[in-house]
Structure 1
Amino acid sequence: MSGKRWGAVVAAGAVAVGLAVAGSPAQAHGGGGGETRTVGYYTQWSHKDRGIPVRYIVDNGTAARLTHVNYAFGLLDERGGCVSSDPVADYQRLIPAHESVNGKADKPGQPLAGNLNQLKQLKQKFPKLRVYISLGGWIGSTYFSNAALTQQSRAAHVKSCIDLWLKGNLPGAPAGAAKGVFDGIDLDWEWPATEGNVGNVVRPEDKVNFTALLREYRVQLDRQGHKDHKRYDLTAFLPANREALDRGFEVTEVFRLLTFATVQGYDYHGAWEKTANQQSALRVPDGDPTTPKDSGEIVVDAYLDRGAPRDKITLGVPYYGRGWTGLPNANNGLFQQSTGPAPGTYEAGYDDYRILKALLTSGKSKLYRDNKAGHAWLFDGTTFWTYDDPTELTRKGRYIKDRKLGGAMIWSLDGDTPQGELIRALSTGLHRR
């Protein structure tokens, strides 16, 4: 079971490339207060590969309903330093007026362009919105272990990330060109002490080093915040897999140091398995043949049992589906054996909700739902897609509210429709009276 998997290709060669913590509890940095968060990931490749500019989430009503945006992803080089994997997308590409948040075209020679300038415009339009740079991801976690290995490497890593993303000193751009874009840093190390993507550097001491890395972040973020007269937040994406959780994270201390955590609420099953199954159900469906069982409720309970505070658990929800094909026409496809992943627009076995919806509206697939377990799927007699539609996202919003969790996290914002069907449904559940 993995973390976020996606089909984007990192630009060629890019991957190669004092305050006391005790005096700075994360609660002093927005960890408590009862806020219901709605956190959305906007990806570096949303515009370039999918044709979804930042403006899309303004026009479909998403941005007005978000509390946080995580921009994914910044990468680490082999020594653990922070780098941009695609400078053109991040801060060089000139955005035309019709795709720009403020409706004005970028001009050659301006200090900041690309996605970062659009996020800056987004914050100007929605002043309460907080934007974080997210580091790592499934294919970007190769060198986190190197960064966290020693006190010296941790200090150097954090300094480089603050310099690049918070001070905004981008290579080839004027000094401080991106300052003010980001309000914090989100760590997406998949996973400490546990192999994630092939080729990741993994060490047994990653568990304690991850905690030490958070402490170093908190010290340097507080120091920079004091200089800038603002609060910088620190968050992390954490796994659903309990083995990876126990092997890689000192849960109580990790949550103490974080402003909040986003917890994996999807990818419980996918086409890396032969059996068609749910990928994001709230509860385990009857007849599920897999071991161990996985569901949103199981994952949330696992974190609570390990000492995570409710109001810092922000449960992930998917704006995409997982698919299989070559299934027999039995049990509406659920728990049947496939011949492989379903064809997808961007990646085999993966497609966005806005694309999968067309299978239903065109009549090519039929919708099935398990109201007890809380999941939906599409099946056409041979191809099966598990996904969250507006009904399931309203249900999840209500679950988060009823259990007094910290909120919901969305992977990823480019999966919604131009009408914003998913964000409206999720907000309905989160904010019901």
Structure 2
Amino acid sequence: MELNRSATIGITALLITSLFGGAAVSAATESGLTADFSVRDDTIETGERVGFMAEPETTNTWVTDLEWSFDDGATKRGWWQTHRFSEPGNHTISLTVTDNTGATDTTTVTVVVSGPGDETNTDSGTNSDTDSTAETDNETALESEYETWDETEVYRHGDRVVWNEQIWEAQWWSQGDTPDNARVWERVSDPGANDTETVDETSDTDRSQDGTETDGTDESSDTNDTDQTDETDTQTDTSGEQPNRTETGESSEDMRIVGYYTSWSVYDRNYTPSDVPLDKVTHMNYAFMDVEADGTVSYGDASADPQNLAEFRDLKAQHPNTTMQLSIGGWSLSTHFSDAAATQENRERFAETSVDLMQKYDFDGVDIDWEYPDGGGAADNSERPDDPENYVLLLEAVRQELDAAEQADGREYELSIAGATDPHKTAALDVPGIAAQVDYVSVMNYDYTGTWDSQTNHNSKLFSASDDPSPDRFNAAAGMQGWVDEGMPKDKLVFGAAFFGWGFDGVPDQNNGLYQSFDGAADVGWSESGATDYQYVSELLESDSSYEQYWDDEAKVPYVYSARDNVFITYENPKSIANKVEYVVENGYGGMMFWEFYGDREEVLIDEISNTLNDR
């Protein structure tokens, strides 16, 4: 932070008793872990925010937690933190770093903070009519209320700064974005006002997305092989790799955090129900139950489901406030949905058998994931022209069965659906009819690209970049707005995020691998061909210097490319998740959903959702 008017605003020096700008370094642990952090401001006074950045070192391990402790009793977690000191004097800040082996190391720095300076502007009592004096007085007034914008600081929605003698307010999570970036900042029209005009970010939602898993982006064959020259889009991103932040607390009122657990997680993943952080979500949806042609709902995996569901039933006693739902269908088990919804008899059987299974395991609701009622799902799915109409009738039957169960059991049961993100698919449905039956809709804002596609792109972009060759509707903002436009109340719409990514092999060294052709799926960690997650990518970036991380500032997502291996990876990191949560809150949507728990087994992204909500 550059503050050079000490005579005007009374700032005194910040003294650091260890290495300035780099902090004290403790002895390395046996695992090679060394705690280290830097102070990002060289002057500070009481009430002014000072920034800290963790800079730990590891050897063959990775950081899982960073806890900051301040001598005023405050504790925080994360790579970046800021703090305001209310009292002048000596203050100590400690950082404790933990790695994946459980090893810890702590370092402490002391700073000296002064109260408001007693220097005054010697011209304040004179009558000066010069323009320069007036400008200085105005700038002084601005800076005395808000700090100067700093490219190293992390700003969240509502933070205000001074830049170019104007006050600006952050509309999103931001670091390094100059305030003239209209996507991120809004200039406060009246420098003396406390209120600002609300930025309508939905105006950018004309650029959209696709939500199908295998339809992918067939319409994006119009490729753009021109090298991307926007430095903003190709800069190396160093702020996105934020380790675990586990201080979550309660989320915003009525804001859902929905996570899916898959039955197959217990196999090669060895990720069991007891591993699921049920205290960090409002809803856990168990995927998937199967549906037969006559409407009968049964186990999707007869071996794993009974054991998993019984374990979740036992865990329910420890987490009574977490809503547990049975999810039916999914991409692979939507084969007979059309048949099940075609007749009243089948619909009633579907409702009865699904609710019976729900009650057997003391679950709290039913989630229907029919992919898709308007067609375009797996090749062997049954389809009918009247599926959209029958879909509403099926939901109505389930809702009636749940209502009867509520009367019998003396408790409330929820009904939800998972919906496509492509606005064209949403427009084919009776959305008001759906809205009348469901508690919420999880919009699957991912799979805009994949190894089934013809070129690389972002898996879960918030917006479409200006040079994105895929259709304008293939982005999350357009997907959410598509449901609103068709009549779904915003508070019933839950934003679906991907706790997985895709890796592409044989990608030419152009445009850092983005919007390029590829030869096939890359081996990037998961048993599923081409699939990966944040933890794997983070370890890859740390262990292999040929893999470089980039940030697409228009799409608001990271990506990774290795020119040596010709591998491109699209995935989510804490920064992109924070942007999505900010978008959800600012647009009045009903919460966040993610697919799925195993993709964030270190709980870094889950904590980012909770922390961003709690910062509101």
Tell me if TM exceeds 0.5.
yes
AA of the residue aligned to 1:374: K
Alpha-carbon distance between aligned partners in 2 of 1:368 and 1:305, rounded to the nearest angstrom: 33
**What is the aligned counterpart of 2:392 among 189, 206, 211?**
211
Contact 1:317–1:408 (Cα < 8 Å) also in 2: yes
**What is the aligned counterpart of 2:466 among 276, 282, 286?**
286
Contact 2:450–2:459 (Cα < 8 Å) also in 1: yes
2:597 maps to what in 1? 413
- Please give the secondary structure, in 2, of the residue aligned with 1:257: coil
2:359 maps to what in 1? 167
Alpha-carbon distance between aligned partners in 1 of 2:211 and 2:386, rounded to the nearest angstrom: 21
- Please give the secondary structure, in 2, of the residue aligned with 1:425: helix
Alpha-carbon distance between aligned partners in 2 of 1:282 and 1:193, rounded to the nearest angstrom: 24
Alpha-carbon distance between aligned partners in 2 of 1:303 and 1:167, rounded to the nearest angstrom: 31
Contact 1:398–1:432 (Cα < 8 Å) also in 2: no
1:100 maps to what in 2? none
Contact 2:496–2:594 (Cα < 8 Å) also in 1: yes
Alpha-carbon distance between aligned partners in 2 of 1:40 and 1:310, rounded to the nearest angstrom: 19
| Residue 4 of structure 1, CA deviation | 5.5
**Does 1:189 pair with 2:370?**
yes
1:376 maps to what in 2? 558
1:423 maps to what in 2? 606
**Does 1:35 pair with 2:254?**
yes
Contact 1:268–1:280 (Cα < 8 Å) also in 2: yes
- Larger strand proportion, structure 1 or 2? 2
- Superposed CA deviations along residues 341-376 of structure 1, whole A, max 9, x for unmatched, are 223422222223222322212125111112332111
Contact 1:395–1:429 (Cα < 8 Å) also in 2: no
2:335 maps to what in 1? 142
- Please give the secondary structure, in 1, of the residue aligned with 2:559: strand
Please provide the CA RMSD for this pair: 1.6
| Residue 405 of structure 1, CA deviation | 0.7
- Please give the secondary structure, in 2, of the residue aligned with 1:135: strand
2:569 maps to what in 1? 385
Q: After the TM superposition, which of the residue ranges 80-89 and 63-72 deviates more from structure 2?
A: 80-89
Query: Equivalent residues in 2 for 1:81-100 (5 A)?
Result: 81-91=296-306
| Residue 274 of structure 1, CA deviation | 1.7
- Please give the secondary structure, in 2, of the residue aligned with 1:80: coil
| Residue 162 of structure 1, CA deviation | 1.7
2:615 maps to what in 1? 432
1:55 maps to what in 2? 274
- Superposed CA deviations along residues 149-179 of structure 1, whole A, max 9, x for unmatched, are 011111111112222x1232xxxxxxxxx3x
AA of the residue aligned to 1:372: E
Contact 1:134–1:187 (Cα < 8 Å) also in 2: yes
| Residue 46 of structure 1, CA deviation | 0.8
Query: Equivalent residues in 2 for 1:276-425 (5 A)?
Result: 276-344=456-524, 345-363=526-544, 364-381=546-563, 382-418=566-602, 420-425=603-608
Alpha-carbon distance between aligned partners in 1 of 2:510 and 2:491, rounded to the nearest angstrom: 42
2:402 maps to what in 1? 221
Contact 1:304–1:310 (Cα < 8 Å) also in 2: yes
2:35 maps to what in 1? none
1:22 maps to what in 2? none
| Residue 327 of structure 1, CA deviation | 1.0
Alpha-carbon distance between aligned partners in 1 of 2:213 and 2:415, rounded to the nearest angstrom: 19
- Please give the secondary structure, in 2, of the residue aligned with 1:140: coil
Name which structure has the greater RCO, CA cutoff 8 Å, separation 6+.
1
- Superposed CA deviations along residues 268-313 of structure 1, whole A, max 9, x for unmatched, are 1112112110111111112101124411111111111111111000
**Unpaired runs of at least 5, structure 1:** 6-32, 92-113, 169-177
Alpha-carbon distance between aligned partners in 2 of 1:296 and 1:353, rounded to the nearest angstrom: 19
Contact 2:451–2:530 (Cα < 8 Å) also in 1: yes
| Residue 34 of structure 1, CA deviation | 5.3
Alpha-carbon distance between aligned partners in 2 of 1:405 and 1:322, rounded to the nearest angstrom: 27
Alpha-carbon distance between aligned partners in 2 of 1:2 and 1:81, rounded to the nearest angstrom: 27
Q: Kindly tell me: are residues 260 and 34 of structure 1, through their superposed partners in 2, closer, same or farther at Cα, counting changes over 3 Å?
A: farther
Alpha-carbon distance between aligned partners in 1 of 2:417 and 2:300, rounded to the nearest angstrom: 20
Query: Equivalent residues in 2 for 1:71-90 (5 A)?
Result: 71-90=286-305
1:19 maps to what in 2? none
Q: After the TM superposition, which of the residue ranges 38-47 and 235-244 deviates more from structure 2?
A: 235-244
Contact 2:211–2:445 (Cα < 8 Å) also in 1: no
- Superposed CA deviations along residues 385-412 of structure 1, whole A, max 9, x for unmatched, are 1110111111111111111110000100
AA of the residue aligned to 1:37: R
Q: After the TM superposition, which of the residue ranges 394-403 and 311-320 deviates more from structure 2?
A: 394-403
Contact 2:350–2:398 (Cα < 8 Å) also in 1: no
Number of positions where the alignment pairs a residue of Structure 1 with one of Structure 2 = 366
| Residue 251 of structure 1, CA deviation | 0.8
Contact 1:79–1:146 (Cα < 8 Å) also in 2: yes
Alpha-carbon distance between aligned partners in 2 of 1:83 and 1:3, rounded to the nearest angstrom: 25
AA of the residue aligned to 1:256: A
- Larger helix proportion, structure 1 or 2? 1
1:230 maps to what in 2? 411
Alpha-carbon distance between aligned partners in 2 of 1:376 and 1:245, rounded to the nearest angstrom: 27
AA of the residue aligned to 1:373: A
| Residue 246 of structure 1, CA deviation | 2.3
Contact 2:256–2:590 (Cα < 8 Å) also in 1: yes
- Superposed CA deviations along residues 15-74 of structure 1, whole A, max 9, x for unmatched, are xxxxxxxxxxxxxxxxxx9500000001101112311112222xxxx3222000000000
Contact 2:464–2:472 (Cα < 8 Å) also in 1: no
1:171 maps to what in 2? none
Q: After the TM superposition, which of the residue ranges 277-286 and 201-210 deviates more from structure 2?
A: 277-286
2:11 maps to what in 1? none
AA of the residue aligned to 2:442: T
| Residue 85 of structure 1, CA deviation | 2.3
Q: TM-score of the superposition, structure 1-length normalised?
A: 0.81
Rg larger for? 2
| Residue 190 of structure 1, CA deviation | 0.1
AA of the residue aligned to 2:254: E
Contact 1:397–1:427 (Cα < 8 Å) also in 2: no
- Please give the secondary structure, in 1, of the residue aligned with 2:502: strand
- Please give the secondary structure, in 2, of the residue aligned with 1:204: coil
Contact 2:211–2:474 (Cα < 8 Å) also in 1: no
| Residue 2 of structure 1, CA deviation | 5.3
AA of the residue aligned to 1:192: P
Q: Kindly tell me: are residues 121 and 357 of structure 1, through their superposed partners in 2, closer, same or farther at Cα, counting changes over 3 Å?
A: farther
